[in-house]
Structure formats: structure tokens, C-alpha cells
Amino acid sequence: MPQTLEGFRVAALVSDRFEQVELTGPRDALREAGATVSIVSPQKQMKGMKHHDVGDTFQADVDLASASPDDFDALLLPGGVINGDSLRVNPEAQRLVKALVNDSKPVAVICHGGWLLISSGVAQGRTVTSWPTLQDDFRNAGAHWVDETVVVDGNWVSSRKPDDIPNFNREMIRVFAEEKKRQRERKAA
């Protein structure tokens, strides 16, 4: 039986020049599983990147400054060097990440999206993977970095690059479905 995420709300946090397939691949898989995915961004409109080439234009669903952690059940952090570098120094992005992590909501992160977790001070003690150039940053932040296609550490799912998206999507949906089940059990108790 396929896992359903009907009613599950995911914040996809991006800034301009994110790696397009690292948003669209997971977003489409989540939507197919029934989740609602909202693009949260400091810009109203942003461009994706297709590696080094400028990609499509995307519209934000939620302005980052007004994004409430209470409105989301999970966080998706696509990569892209420009995106990751821009978000990691954004106080509103750090605020949202810290609040979601402190509320024990699941996180799915790929490639350079991990920079925001590092700069938000929430990576310590976690086992993660990422684009290889982030390994020193993760280790310096107190995380255990490994080179694998997908890593699940509790309610965190991480991957390295676009080639990993099929495995990333599978584990992300599984972890998010477990969270949805816990939510149902808490409501029933």
C-alpha cells in the first residue's frame, strides 16, 4: 500500500538560484504522495538553476518573513551553491529552521541545502551527507558526515546531489509518513 501524506504540509525553503531539480523532484514526489508543498522564500519570484544554466522562474507561496513553523509539518531544503550561501546568512531562514527543528519536525536536505542547518546551529550530533565540499563545514559544526546516496538520522534525511533524488525521495516520504502517523496517534491519545 503506498504511503499517503494527505494533509501533510511541507515548507520548501529556497532563495534565488536554487538547484531546480532538487526542488521539483522531491516536490513532485511529495505531491504525488498527497502532501501540500509550499515554496517559502525571501523573494516573491526566483529562478532555478540547471547546474550552471539559469532555469525556470518560480513563485513563492509564502513570504519567508511571515512564515510560521506552526503552518508546516516538515522542511525541505533543496541545494544549489548560490541558494545555500544566501539562505545560511538570512536570519529569518535561520529562525524558521531552528523553530522547526526544535519542534522535532522532520527535515529533508540535499546538496548545499545543509549550509543553512550548519549556520542555524542545529547540525551538531547529526549524521548527514551532502555535496562533498560541505563535509568540513558539517564536521566543524559537530556533525558526522558520510559519503552515501542517502542518510537517515532520526527524522532527518540527507542526500548529496541530483543523482541521489530517487533514493532521497523514497526515504523522505517514508520519514514524513512516520511523522504523519505520530501526529495521528497524538491526536487520538
Lowest mean pLDDT among 31-35, 123-127, 151-155, 185-189: 185-189
- Are 84 and 28 in contact by the 8 Å Cβ rule? The answer is no
Helix (H) or strand (E) segment spanning residue 58 = strand 53-59
- Domain residues for the domain of 82 are 9-188
C-alpha 115, offset from chain centre: 11
pLDDT digits (tens, 9 = 90+) for 92-114: 999 999 999 999 999 999 999 99
| Nearest alpha-carbon partner for 105 in 91, 129, 128, 122 | 122
- The C-alpha atoms of residue 37 and residue 86 are separated, in whole angstroms, by 21
Whether 47 maps to a domain, the answer reads yes
CATH code, domain with 42: 3.40.50.880
pLDDT digits (tens, 9 = 90+) for 137-151: 999 999 999 999 999
Taking residues 118-130, report their average pLDDT.
98
Domain count, the chain: 1
Whether 158 maps to a domain, the answer reads yes
Whether 1 maps to a domain, the answer reads no
Whether 2 maps to a domain, the answer reads no
Whether 33 maps to a domain, the answer reads yes
pLDDT digits (tens, 9 = 90+) for 40-77: 999 999 999 999 999 999 999 999 999 999 999 999 99
Which residues have a catalytic role annotated?
A: 112
Whether 143 maps to a domain, the answer reads yes
> What's the chain's average pLDDT?
96
β-strand pairing of 156-159 with 150-153: antiparallel
- The C-alpha atoms of residue 166 and residue 13 are separated, in whole angstroms, by 20
Whether 115 maps to a domain, the answer reads yes
pLDDT at residue 131 greater than cutoff 50: yes
Whether 4 maps to a domain, the answer reads no
| Nearest alpha-carbon partner for 155 in 106, 114, 110 | 106
